[in-house]
């Protein structure tokens, strides 16, 4: 797994091992950053259920001003920190070793772009979408990675499902502020 572009372009990232680990594929990662390419510069990025941190690191590499990484796994947090040091992006990052839902309930941070990739088929994405909209900036973007079988609501707070993308067994769902979607 490598950083696709930006200041850390081509740098190899350490990944987690084990059967429970499901890193975002390069194809899906490229799609995410194609979707937000004009909105990433200077953005505050949230990488929920961060795993190796590749999504937040890619955002920082492409010019995000800050990235917050959350994961409940100590091993994942260790890997995220190592990857941030390796890519020399740690100065613009905050890494939280805590449950992503608990983090959302207590954080005072506001984000411009949030990427949520919880374990599939455990109902976590529904819980995330109940809390996350309150933590987003006025023109924020929420991107959810789920299995194809998971159905997400049409609305999440003031956000409305904008578009879905399908890649094999993976689905990306993009939520944007409802008033922004009315022009579509």
- How is the beta sheet containing 136-147 ordered, strand by strand? 93-97, 66-71, 44-48, 111-116, 136-147, 170-177, 159-167, 155-156
* Pairing of β 44-48 and β 66-71: parallel
pLDDT digits (tens, 9 = 90+) for 86-128: 999 999 999 999 999 999 999 999 999 999 999 887 889 999 9
Eight-class DSSP state of 153: P
User: Nearest 5°: phi and psi at 80?
Assistant: -60, -50
pLDDT digits (tens, 9 = 90+) for 54-69: 999 999 999 999 999 9
Statement: residue 183 has pLDDT above 70: no
User: What architecture is the 26-181 domain classified under in CATH?
Assistant: 3-Layer(aba) Sandwich (3.40)
Mean of all residue pLDDT scores within the chain: 91
pLDDT tens track for 118-150: 988 788 999 999 999 999 999 999 999 999 999
4 Cβ contact list (under 8 Å, min separation 6): 26, 29, 30, 33, 58, 61
Distance, in Å, from the CA atom of 145 to the CA atom of 35, rounded to the nearest integer, reads 13
Per-domain residue ranges of the chain: 26-181
What's the pTM? Answer: 0.92
């Amino acid at each position: 797994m490598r950083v696709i572009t930006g200041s850390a372009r081509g740098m190899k990232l350490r990944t987690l091992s084990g059967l429970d680990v499901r890193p975002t594929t390069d194809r899906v990662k490229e799609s995410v950053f194609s979707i937000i390419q004009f909105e990433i510069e200077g953005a505050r990025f949230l990488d929920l259920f961060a795993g190796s941190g590749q999504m937040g690191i890619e955002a920082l590499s492409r010019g995000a001003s800050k990235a917050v990484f959350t994961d409940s796994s100590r091993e994942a947090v260790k890997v995220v920190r190592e990857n941030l040091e390796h890519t020399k992006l740690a100065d613009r990052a905050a890494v939280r070793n805590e449950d992503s839902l608990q983090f959302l309930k207590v954080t005072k941070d506001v984000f411009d772009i949030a990427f949520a990739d919880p374990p599939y088929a455990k109902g976590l994405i529904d819980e995330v979408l109940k809390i996350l909209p309150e933590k987003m900036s006025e023109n924020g973007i929420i991107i959810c990675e789920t299995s194809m079988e998971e159905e997400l609501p049409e609305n999440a707070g003031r956000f409305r499902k904008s578009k879905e993308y399908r890649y094999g067994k993976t689905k990306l769902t993009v939520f944007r502020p409802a008033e922004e979607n009315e022009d579509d």
